[in-house]
Amino acid sequence: MKAARLYGVRDLRVEEVADPEPGPGEALIRIHTCGVCPSDLRSYLGARPGSGALSLPRTPGHEWAGVVVALGEPVDDAPADGQAPSIKVGDRVVADWRYVCGRCYQCRRGVFNYCENLRRGVRGGFAEYGIAPLSQLRVIPDHVSFEEASFCEPLACIINAHSYTQISLGDDVVIVGAGPIGLMHLQLARNRGARVIVSDPIATRLEKARELGAHDVIDASAADPVARVNELTEGRGANAVIIAVGAAEAIRQGLAMATINGWVNIFAGTYPPVELPVDPNLIHYRQLRVTGSHDFTPHHFTTALRLIQFGIVRVAPLISHRFELDDVREAFETTAGRHGLKSMVLPTP
């Protein structure tokens, strides 16, 4: 089969490799779609020290969906969320790459996203075929496309973040950054009954934010976003701020935008690592709740598919570019250049 293989910084090649074989309890899947994720990009650009430590060459891609074409020997492996393991050849499926053990200290206290025995059982999606343990697959409802299902992974991360960010009916919520991630945060905040303000320096992204339900947008290239949030909230600031860009200045602004008892979620990793001078009095005297969030649990992944299934979060409008597998490098460069929104690679066009 054909597969993309990462050899080093910006060195991603499409090559012929041996067809994968499903082991016991695994499925072989013909991959239809795989989204390019900011975390794929970090390994591609060599931006995250340590991520290059994973052995090279390797096939990246974890936001993938396709059709089951073969099954390995059956094993007794009940899925973590109780879904019956009734995967059959011909099923349309989406793969949850975070294969957690369910037995370690973190899993037993419900913090599955920090499983101490995370297994790498789901293999790279920028390829014609992929392998995944049956417990990691969810059947895609008929009217949900492969492309839409590929958003389960990033949307699951967003659902996790919202469990650490309290949003009440009528709250003023600011989303800093209107990339694909910010635009999903926007829709979730709207669904929770908030008045949503989106800040970004790119005009086309702000247009998309309006289209997806933002009540107000701030052009961060023209206005001071903190002053503008104050104007839009009668000088109070926002009840919740979600920072969906990995930049020190965005975090500084996010903290300054929050009102008394406000929540500030630092959603994105910041690369290269930076130091941020913060006046602790800002947090102390305003009783701010500053949270981090990272990755997701199996239940968040299942929930993400439901939000897509019922149109609670619309993901199709976030796709700006489509590429064949042979052009995967162009897909990465497009995302690296922040052109458009989500780049989708289609190994089976």
Of 79 and 237, nearer to Zn ion (C-beta) is 79
How many residues make up the chain in this entry?
349
Compute CA 108 distance to the chain's CA centroid, rounded to the nearest angstrom.
24
CB of 261 to Zn ion, least distance (A): 32
CB 174 within 8 A of CB 199: yes
Does 17 bind Zn ion (CB under 5 A)? Our answer is no
Subset of residues 61 to 80 that bind Zn ion, contact rule: CB under 5 A: 63
Nearest distance, CB of residue 35 and Zn ion, angstroms: 7
Place of tokens 């994968």: 20
The secondary structure of residue 50, as a DSSP letter, is T
Which residue from 101, 139, 247, 278 is in contact with Zn ion, where contact means CB under 5 A?
Answer: 101
Stretch that binds Zn ion, among 56-64, 203-211, 288-296, 325-333 (CB under 5 A): 56-64
Contact segment (CB under 5 A) with Zn ion among 67-75, 109-117, 134-142, 240-248 equals 109-117
115 is a contact residue toward Zn ion (CB under 5 A): yes
Would you say 107 or 341 has its CB closer to Zn ion? 107
CB 149 within 8 A of CB 65: yes
Interactions with Zn ion, residue window 132-171 (CB under 5 A): 153-154
Nearest to 38 by CA among 264, 326, 247: 247
Task: Please state, as a whole number, how many other Cβ atoms lie within 10 Å of the Cβ of residue 309.
Answer: 16
Nearer Cβ to Zn ion, position 42 or 228?
42
Q: Does 47 bind Zn ion (CB under 5 A)?
A: no
Q: Is 107 in the site for Zn ion (CB under 5 A)?
A: yes
DSSP tally for the chain: helices H, then strands E: 11, 15
Q: How many residues make contact with Zn ion (CB under 5 A)? A: 10
Q: Which amino acid is at 297?
A: T
Minimum gap (Å) between residue 107 Cβ and Zn ion: 3
C-alpha dihedral (40, 125, 132, 130), degrees to nearest 10: -150
Would you list the DSSP string of 247-264?
Answer: -HHHHHHHHHHEEEEEEE
Under rule CB under 5 A, residue 37 binds Zn ion: yes
Pick the stretch among 29-37, 123-131, 276-284, 305-313 that binds Zn ion (CB under 5 A). 29-37
Q: Quick one: DSSP state of residue 205?
A: H
Question: Binding residues for Zn ion, per CB under 5 A?
Answer: 37, 63, 100-101, 104, 107, 115, 117, 153-154
